Structure 1
């Protein structure tokens, strides 16, 4: 199964539980991995036979810039559901969201949430 990956898209958002996160915001990084049967669907160099990563990027950017949540889990779930609905030709998707500047004591690179889902295709 082929995969289309958008790695390390970065946005400044105001998601979080803490007042500081809602006031000054923080950078998040997002990866989207789309399972799509490229091997059997893309034979003629035609964009309409695949999923445009430019469109996926725009969908991610619009979602994270329009909505703010307390939980990064809610961002991940909402984005996953949006993308699965918008791209029913995809077999499955995984969304990873990393918060880089988490305001907690400790030494770490980031905190990451990962969610996955599949599209239900009619077998009639």
Structure 2
């Protein structure tokens, strides 16, 4: 039987200074991040012990610190670098999907936000 467990942390909200335009870098804006963490919960969590899983509290802290300490012109770059960090820092994860939503984008039109998504898995060759 194939197992494809998943841990999700949804709507993490951070105030950041990412953006192409000087106003974005100076004034900042809200970002929301969803993280989907692939982990075979069905196989690995058998004894109700934190050591059997990946601490989502630790993952949240990693994401929060990374977002606050790194500034990019493109949220695509933020997403790619954060994806690499999570896969490197948490080798027990089989895959990571990140969705990053940016609000207050200086773009004409009616919309709620702009969202990008990246996905990556471990290279266990």
TM more than 0.5? yes
- Unpaired runs of 5+ in structure 1? none
CA distance in 1, matches of 2:8, 2:17: 25
Helix, strand or coil for the counterpart of 1:10?
strand
Instruction: Provide TM-score, normalisation by structure 2.
Output: 0.96
What's the secondary structure of 1:12's corresponding residue? strand
Structure 1 position 23, deviation (Å): 0.5
Count of matched residue positions in the alignment of Structure 1 and Structure 2: 122
The whole-number CA distance in structure 2 between the counterparts of 1:118 and 1:11 is 25
CA RMSD of aligned residues (A): 0.6
Q: Are 2:101 and 1:121 equivalent residues in the alignment?
A: no
Cα deviation, residue 19, structure 1? 0.7
Question: 2:66 — aligned with what?
Answer: 63
Cα deviations by residue, 1:17-50 (Å, 9 ceiling, x for unpaired): 0011000000000000011000000001110110
- Structure 1 partner of 2:80: 77
| Unaligned segments of structure 2, at least 5 residues | none
**Aligned equivalent of 1:5:** 8
Q: Which residue of 2 aligns with 1:106?
A: 109
TM-aligned CA deviation for residue 121 of structure 1: 1.7
**After the TM superposition, which segments of 4 or more aligned residues of structure 1 sit over 2 Å from their partners?**
none
Identify the residue that residue 29 of structure 2 maps to in structure 1: 26
